[in-house]
Amino acid sequence: MPPGKKQKVDEALFHQHYREVLTFSALFRQVHSEVIDKGGGRADILFTFNTAQFNVECKIEEDDASEPGLRTYVAQAAEYQNTSAAFAILLALDKTVAAEGAINLFDSIWIETVQRPGETTPCRVIIVRVPGGRDNPNLLRPGP
């Protein structure tokens, strides 16, 4: 790829790559992708353990990867957990990274609570923001 040119990644490629990484981990027997009829939809990644399951919803954000911006996706991640544990993960590839570089890891992981009317137990959604489309680190400059 020529210098300065960023690779175009769509959500399907993003979650397929994440699944490939997991297949080389100790979780390879627990991970499934593109699971149909999960909460009325299709789960990108589904972890299945003896009596519990949870999903990982993969998103690419090119406009607003702030906490409020990514919060707009938590309802979808929680919806796939209607029939299992009230826990899900939203894995967001942040394509908004500027020349200052990516936000640190500790500010890129947080928990959102989704409490829908009629539910006694809220769903906890862990949001993990992963920097993507970054410039060459040698070209980064400190922010103002």
Strand stretches in the chain, DSSP E: 31-38, 41-48, 53-61, 87-94, 109-114, 123-131
Average pLDDT of the residues of the chain: 79
Cα distances (angstroms) measured from residue 46 to each of 69, 116, 128, 134, 144: 24, 22, 16, 28, 41
Q: For residue range 99-134, what is the model confidence (pLDDT) as tens digits? A: 566 678 888 999 999 988 888 888 899 999 988 866
Mean pLDDT of 38-53: 74
The CATH fold assigned to 11-133 is Trna Endonuclease; Chain: A, domain 1 (3.40.1350)
Mean pLDDT lowest among 73-82, 88-97, 113-122: 73-82
d(CA 62, CA 123): 26
Whether the full predicted model's pTM is greater than 0.85, yes or no, is no
